[in-house]
Amino acid sequence: DIKGFTFDLDGVITDTAKFHEQAWHDLALQIGVNWSDELGNQLKGISRMDSLNMILSAAGQQDKYSDEEKEAFTIQKNTHYVELIQGITPKDILPGMTAFLSEIKSGGYVASIASASKNAPKILEKLGIIDDFVGIVDPATLSHGKPDPEIFTKAGDILKLKPSQIIGLEDASAGVEAITAAGQTALGIGLAAKSASPKLWVASTADISLANIAAGMQNSN
């Protein structure tokens, strides 16, 4: 039986991707790297340094900068990003998710966060929902990013549940792969998640409810 949920943050609970994209785009302009929407999309769910490496590689500049210079670029991007997220309020919670979180609470389920973002606690605080989660995986403790299962395994450990008792929610295909590899049931959200064949799938966060999940679990058995 399902007893808990592990949540990705960006694209599942709120749309921080637009702020990440803006901060990276501005940095790319400054260092003379061409920007494309495709590049912006590839950065979803990817850690900060991996994102920078991806941007530099796209321009053939992967060997141009020292580790110190790259560190400085990531600090600059994050300073800008943190400015951009200052104005986040509970209104920025994606459709359906406030209702789903209260359904979880009243149903006696537990929830934790499996986000690659080091800013996750700050964002959940601003959204006013940090107390809805038993815990947040600290991405600084991870050896591997998504699609490695590590972050979802740790998020499951926080819940003190077995993988078979957990549903993981993700909008990125690497995240769906990570959930499935962790032995949890993946609930994919949106088109990008579909390619990784999650056991459950919805087009939008607005379609997520305990009743819909129960119906989906039945269909897929």
List of residues contacting Mg ion (CB under 5 A): 8, 10-11, 45, 171-172
**Residue 159: which residues within 8 A CB-CB, separation 6 or more?**
3, 4, 6, 110, 111, 112, 134, 166
Nearest to ligand G16 of 14, 185 (CB atom): 14
Number of helical (H) and strand (E) elements in the chain, helices listed first: 10, 6
CB 205 within 8 A of CB 191: no
In whole angstroms, give the CA distance from residue 200 to residue 212.
10
Q: Which residues are annotated as a binding site?
A: 8-10, 24, 43-48, 51, 77, 115-119, 146, 170-171
Active site annotation includes 10: yes
Active-site position among 1, 10, 92, 132: 10
In whole angstroms, give the CA distance from residue 11 to residue 18.
10
| Interface ranges with ligand G16 (CB under 6 A) | 8-11, 17, 20, 43-48, 51, 78, 115-119
**What's the min distance (Å) between Cβ of 44 and ligand G16?**
5
**What's the min distance (Å) between Cβ of 122 and ligand G16?**
9
Q: Which residues are annotated as a binding site for Mg(2+)?
A: 8, 10, 170-171
**Residue 137: which residues within 8 A CB-CB, separation 6 or more?**
112, 113, 114, 115, 151, 154, 155, 158
The interface partner of residue 43, options being Mg ion, ligand G16, none and the CB cut-off 5 to 8 Å by kind, is ligand G16
Q: Where are the alpha helices (DSSP H) in 9-66?
A: 17-30, 37-42, 48-58
**What's the min distance (Å) between Cβ of 160 and ligand G16?**
22
Q: Which residues are annotated as a binding site for substrate?
A: 8-10, 24, 43-48, 51, 77, 115-119, 146
Nearest to ligand G16 of 47, 180 (CB atom): 47
Task: List, by residue number, the catalytic residues.
Answer: 8, 10
